[in-house]
């Protein structure tokens, strides 16, 4: 006999005794001699021209060295936002086809916009793990629904649920570099972070740690590391020394910076002589229009961003040095890219608190000037002005979210010295983020599965890019659609049709432009009137691909997608939250936005010395917190850095401590109650503004950064806290409209 129920493919023999049997051991896949190690490094919101080897006046020697020993691409395209690019990068399929047509924060009820990757698209980690690889993810994820982002899960869309053996990082779209909310595998990381902490350093420490464990235990087994930095997404934060090295470097402003940058790009061979610099984006003032204080502020914000970028480069250098020391670098297939173009979300003068953008709050010039000395440090959550984003996307137009080149044409470097015949080569052929998976799988000798875990798979859409150093660019006939929030484009055989959509405007009124991007890479010479037939065919093809790949229905809503009736948001009116409950998103926990609500903490053993957090919502840049201090009950209401503080008492001997927020015709009120008796009342500017659901609720603690400057993390409640009851009133029907208006303003 040769088969058993547990191993139907067993090829030995099984007799009545061992002496009468022949053993068999199946071969283990993925031996080192057969397959390269793979490292994918993802930068966030880094524009085409923000790395030194792409013409930036920013020092990135470690990335530049990878380009010098590898291949640099000038015509590589991502999607226009982060979650969609990551979905395509990890699956090799177009983002709408796998369910991530927009951010992972929203499920609008349509297949292309689920906000999570369908099981019909196995990730690169899932495929490589089955081929014998050790798989490790470190950093930003942003591919799981908000309702799943708690310690209770479910975890099927977390990194460990999509093929990674280990994970360390943050699950949202951005995080504070000094005080992030972190997870390891499926558990929250609550360790305190002392002076000198920085998230980018922490991420690389863990990447090296995971690889060290792997190489110590299984040195003959290949590995796949996915390292997704929070850098250089806002908040722009870096150690002071990295920022100070750029003091005065940008005093001439963004107009001069664009011109100098294009000259460097032409000299480096990234673009041909005569490449035109497009006109300034309509939202960017000329540098000369700014007054001296504004120029000083804006220059400082770019100094911070440059320091942030150079600091990130240093961390990449640490990882590369580790691989070199272990003798693994030369045959490691290392890919580095950005997820989209630079972000113009900072507006005219930038912001000292990016949450004002998320919450639809105005940025006041004086507020930002007052924060000058804090920029880049732990007390600011800053974002640079759109003028520097425009310069960072040189020589292209527009930004992240747009389907012009500034939103989707990004730096891309491939490094594998053992296979690069001509190191330092520059490639100009069209490539797309969906090409990364088939390229890696081909290098590893692995076929994408037709069925994965019993689920039939969507065919991979990308193409193998090898050989990387082919002296003849392989710009074969190809068509690729783009869409983000109603902005659309189509690349076809060297031509590009593109339209910039205004939210709320009928799509039929959008004006399409046409560019011969081989001759006009910066999209400055609109050929739509000269070639109307070509444009008409390309528009028709765009609609065909939109239907083919799940783009429809078109949706130009931004934050208001959260108010679409998604049942996964688990709308509840009453929550009973236990001590220690934390990281509850507005889908998994209470959604306090745009409504009245009450918070009531049930306590014991409270005296004049009792202190700490009862309930906290959010963190330093925005939110609110109910806490005890000095024998009083305190409520700090923080709307993107603008605080209203209410205090009352005494609280000694009390059993119930709470706050009631009431929506009023001309704003809102906060009433503090001790054992049901009102002890203080104050006017508030409004109920808490509607915005992205990235603020989380915690009970009995306030970490990683407190909403109130009067609290030091973890600000644990020192009395006995039984539970906290939250009761939510009806959400204002205008909430979706507020979101929609904020999206229109942001455009």
End-to-end CA distance of the chain: 71
**Interatomic CA distance for residues 12 and 6, integer angstroms:** 13
355, 621 in Cβ contact below 8 A?
yes
User: CA nearest 410: which of 438, 432, 387, 385?
Assistant: 432
Indicate the SS3 state at residue 574: strand
Q: What is the CATH number of domain 37-456?
A: 3.40.720.10
Catalytic residue among 77, 95, 96, 142: 142
pLDDT score, position 374 = 97
Question: Does the 566-746 domain belong in CATH 2.60.120.200?
Answer: yes
Would you kindly state where each structural domain of the chain is located, as residue ranges?
A: 37-456, 479-556, 566-746
| Dihedral angle, C-alpha 347, 236, 102, 226, nearest 10 ° | 160
14, 1 in Cβ contact below 8 A?
yes
For 299, the token pair is 């220059």
**Interatomic CA distance for residues 660 and 731, integer angstroms:** 15
- Concatenating the DSSP letter of every residue in 508-563 gives GGPPPEEEETTT-TT--S--TTT-HHHHHHHHHHHHHHHHHTT-PSP---SGGGGG
> Residue 240 CB: number of other CB atoms within 10 A?
11
SS (H, E, C) 55-119: CCCCCCHHHHHHHHHCEEECCEECCCCHHHHHHHHHHCCCCCCCCECCCCCCCCCCCCECCCCCC
pLDDT score, position 563 = 62
Is 694 considered catalytic here? no
**Interatomic CA distance for residues 353 and 380, integer angstroms:** 6
The CB-side HSE value for 139 (13 A sphere, CA atoms) comes to 26
User: CA nearest 329: which of 48, 62, 92, 136?
Assistant: 62
pLDDT score, position 293 = 98
pLDDT score, position 583 = 79
SS (H, E, C) 239-293: CHHHHHCCCCCCCCCHHHHHHHHHHHHHHCCCCCCCCCCCCCCCCCCCHHHCCHH
| Dihedral angle, C-alpha 171, 172, 173, 177, nearest 10 ° | -80
- Concatenating the DSSP letter of every residue in 456-503 gives EPPPP-------TT-SS----S-EEEEEETTEEEEEETTEEEEE-PPT
Q: What is the pLDDT of residues 336-377, one digit of tens each?
A: 999 999 999 999 999 999 999 888 888 889 999 999 999 999
Number of alpha helices (DSSP H) and beta strands (DSSP E) in the chain: 14, 29
Q: CATH number of 479-556: 3.40.50.1010, 3.30.1120.10, 3.40.50.300, 3.40.30.110? A: 3.30.1120.10
Indicate the SS3 state at residue 295: helix
pTM (predicted TM-score): 0.95
626, 635 in Cβ contact below 8 A?
yes
pLDDT score, position 740 = 37
Give the list of residues 6+ apart from residue 241 with CB closer than 8 angstroms, or none: none
Is 298 considered catalytic here? no
SS (H, E, C) 353-387: ECHHHHCCCCCCHHHHHHCHHHCCCCCCECECCHH
Catalytic residue among 53, 82, 232, 298: 82
SS (H, E, C) 623-641: EEEEEEECCEEEEEEEECC
Q: Is 91 exposed, middle or buried (0-12, 13-18, 19+ CB in 10 A)?
A: buried
User: CA nearest 656: which of 672, 676, 670?
Assistant: 676
What DSSP element (H or E) covers 433?
Answer: none
Indicate the SS3 state at residue 325: helix
Low-confidence ranges of the chain (pLDDT < 50): 735-747
């Amino acid at each position: 006999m040769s088969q058993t129920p547990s191993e139907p493919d067993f090829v030995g023999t099984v007799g009545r005794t061992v002496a009468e049997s022949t053993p068999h051991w199946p071969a283990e896949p993925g031996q080192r001699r057969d397959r390269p190690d793979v490292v994918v490094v993802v930068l966030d919101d880094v524009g085409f021209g923000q790395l030194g080897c792409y013409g930036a006046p920013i020092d990135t020697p470690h990335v530049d060295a990878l380009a010098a020993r590898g291949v640099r691409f000038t015509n590589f395209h991502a999607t226009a936002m982060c979650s969609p690019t990551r979905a395509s990068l990890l699956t090799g399929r177009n983002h709408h086809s796998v369910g991530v047509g927009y951010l992972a924060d929203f499920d609008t009820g349509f297949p292309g916009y689920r906000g999570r990757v369908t099981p019909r698209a196995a990730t690169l980690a899932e495929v490589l793990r089955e081929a014998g690889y050790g798989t490790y993810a470190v950093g930003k994820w942003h591919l799981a629904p908000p309702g799943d982002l708690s310690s209770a899960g479910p975890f099927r869309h977390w990194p460990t649920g999509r093929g990674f053996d280990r994970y360390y990082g943050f699950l949202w779209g951005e995080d504070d570099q000094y005080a992030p909310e972190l997870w390891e595998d499926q558990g929250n990381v609550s360790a305190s972070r002392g002076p000198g902490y920085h998230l980018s350093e922490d991420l690389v420490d863990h990447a090296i740690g995971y690889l060290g464990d792997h190489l110590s235990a299984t040195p003959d087994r290949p590995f796949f590391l996915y390292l997704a930095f929070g850098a250089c997404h806002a908040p722009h934060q870096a150690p002071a020394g990295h920022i100070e090295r750029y003091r005065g470097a940008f005093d001439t402003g963004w107009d001069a910076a664009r011109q100098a940058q294009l000259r460097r790009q032409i000299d480096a061979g990234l673009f041909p002589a005569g490449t035109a610099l497009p006109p300034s984006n309509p939202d960017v003032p000329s540098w000369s229009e700014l007054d001296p204080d504004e120029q000083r502020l804006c220059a400082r914000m770019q100094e911070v961003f440059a320091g942030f970028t150079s600091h990130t480069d240093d961390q990449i250098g640490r990882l590369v040095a580790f691989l070199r020391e272990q003798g693994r670098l030369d045959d490691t297939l290392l890919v580095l890219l950005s997820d989209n173009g630079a972000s113009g979300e900072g507006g005219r003068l930038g912001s000292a608190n990016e949450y004002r953008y998320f919450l639809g709050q105005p940025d006041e010039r004086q507020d930002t000037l007052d924060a000058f000395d804090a920029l880049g440090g732990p007390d600011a959550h800053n974002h640079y002005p759109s003028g520097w984003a425009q310069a960072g996307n040189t020589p292209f137009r527009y930004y992240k979210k747009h389907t012009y080149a500034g939103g989707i044409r990004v730096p891309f470097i491939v490094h594998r010295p053992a296979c690069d015949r001509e190191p330092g080569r520059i490639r100009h052929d069209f490539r797309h983020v969906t090409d990364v998976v088939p390229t890696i799988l081909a290098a590893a000798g692995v076929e994408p599965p037709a069925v994965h875990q019993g689920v039939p798979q969507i065919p991979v859409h990308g193409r193998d890019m090898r050989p990387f150093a082919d002296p003849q660019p392989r710009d074969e006939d190809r068509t690729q659609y783009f869409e983000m929030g109603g902005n659309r484009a189509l690349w076809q055989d060297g031509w590009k049709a593109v339209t910039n959509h205004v939210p709320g405007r009928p799509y039929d009124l959008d004006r399409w432009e046409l560019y011969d991007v081989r001759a006009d890479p910066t999209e400055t010479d609109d050929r739509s009137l000269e070639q109307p037939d070509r444009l008409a065919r390309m528009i028709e093809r765009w609609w065909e691909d939109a239907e083919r790949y799940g783009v429809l229905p078109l949706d130009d809503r931004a934050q208001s997608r959260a108010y679409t009736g998604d049942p996964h948001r688990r709308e509840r009116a009453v929550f009973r939250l236990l001590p220690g409950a934390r990281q509850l998103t507005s889908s998994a926990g209470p959604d306090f936005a745009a409504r009245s609500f009450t918070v009531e903490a049930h306590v014991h053993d409270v005296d004049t010395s009792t202190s700490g957090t009862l309930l906290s919502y959010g963190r330093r840049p925005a939110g609110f917190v109910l806490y005890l201090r000095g024998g009083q009950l305190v409520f700090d209401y923080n709307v993107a850095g603008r605080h209203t503080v209410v205090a009352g008492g005494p609280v000694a001997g009390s059993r119930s401590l709470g706050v009631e927020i009431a929506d009023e015709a001309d704003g809102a009120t906060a009433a503090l109650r001790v054992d049901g008796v009102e002890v203080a009342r104050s006017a508030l500017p409004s109920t808490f503004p509607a915005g992205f659901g990235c603020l989380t609720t915690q009970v009995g603690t306030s970490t990683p950064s407190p909403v109130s400057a009067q609290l030091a993390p973890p600000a644990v409640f020192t009395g006995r806290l039984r539970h906290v009851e939250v009761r939510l009133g009806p959400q204002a029907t205008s909430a979706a409209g507020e979101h929609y208006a904020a999206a229109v303003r942001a455009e």
